[in-house]
Amino acid sequence: MKVYWLEQTEADLPNGGTGVPPVDGHAQDGPATRPESEWLGAKERVQLSAMRFAKRRADWQLGRWTAKHAVAVYLQLPADLPNLAKIEVRPSPSGAPEIFLGNKWAPVTISLSHRAGWAVCAVANYPAALGCDLEVIEPHSDAFIADYFATEEQALVARAAPADRPWLVTLLWSAKESALKALRAGLRLDTRCVIVTLVDVLRSQNAEGEVCVPEEYIKNPGFAPRPPDALSGWRPLRVRHIHDQTFLGWWQQTGNLLRTIVAAPPPARPLLLNVSVSSGGQSLIKGGHSNADRQSFGA
């Protein structure tokens, strides 16, 4: 199965997208009415106007902006501001994001994450189960590991060199977040109910780009950690729910940012969406794997 992804920053938002923060708990005229927010649909503007805190508003806008562009490119739709407004990201009853085009539900699966002024959106065909997460690599306490990690994950961290612990713990946590999103439950579930296995090998692909998943990949519990600076592109991982549902996926690090994507059916290596505009005003898909490609897109 092919999975696409797009990552953007606050600088990609029109005029920064910050708007006017609420005062005394009341939303002021700002992002919901200013011209730079004409890319929001009617229901999205209502949702935004109810948000009290400036950071929450900024994160929410960045996530929606990234998701709308990802969907526009994926579905080959125009990406000017009025047409972006017709692509609405609405929460399902479970809280998972769903796409509506002109008030009609669209058969597209997306997952969103934002962190430290960045947002990532993963896109695949419905009815795939899909989850993505973006994290900043930082130290975590022993109490955090004991509270949120399964026994085998704690053992994996215990075997790691001290210098490897921050990125390894961040990676395990991110993969858990992605899997919980793919389950459409998020952090309402106990994080120990999903168990991450990292496989430090690259897998072959068939002619159509679909990942080939040997039986050994499903069974192999082993992991030989490598320092982050040795990474090149995406590496495979597996997340197993305690009720035996399994998600396969990928992880990648750039600087101090780490991202994970998991899905079912098994996903091929994620393809970067490159936002560009054709002479007819249409957004175009361009897939890529390298970190250099990641720097090439613009909104």
Which residues are CB-neighbours of 269 under 8 A, at least 6 positions away? Answer: 205, 209, 211, 233, 234, 250, 289
Give pLDDT, residue 233: 85
The CATH label, of 3.40.50, 2.60.120, 3.90.470, 3.30.70, for the domain at 134-257 is: 3.90.470
Q: 259, 134 in Cβ contact below 8 A?
A: yes
DSSP state of 47: H
d(CA 257, CA 259): 7
Give pLDDT, residue 244: 79
Indicate the pTM of the whole model: 0.81
User: Could you tell me whether strands 108-115 and 235-241 are parallel, antiparallel, or unpaired per DSSP bridges?
Assistant: unpaired
Give pLDDT, residue 274: 82
Which parts of the chain register pLDDT below 70?
Answer: 16-36, 200-232, 276-299
Give pLDDT, residue 214: 42
Q: 78, 68 in Cβ contact below 8 A?
A: no
The architecture that CATH gives domain 4-128+272-294 is: Alpha-Beta Complex (3.90)
| Domain ranges across the chain | 4-128+272-294, 134-257
Give pLDDT, residue 2: 96
Note whether 4-128+272-294 and 134-257 share their fold: yes
Assigned token pair, 255: 């600087």
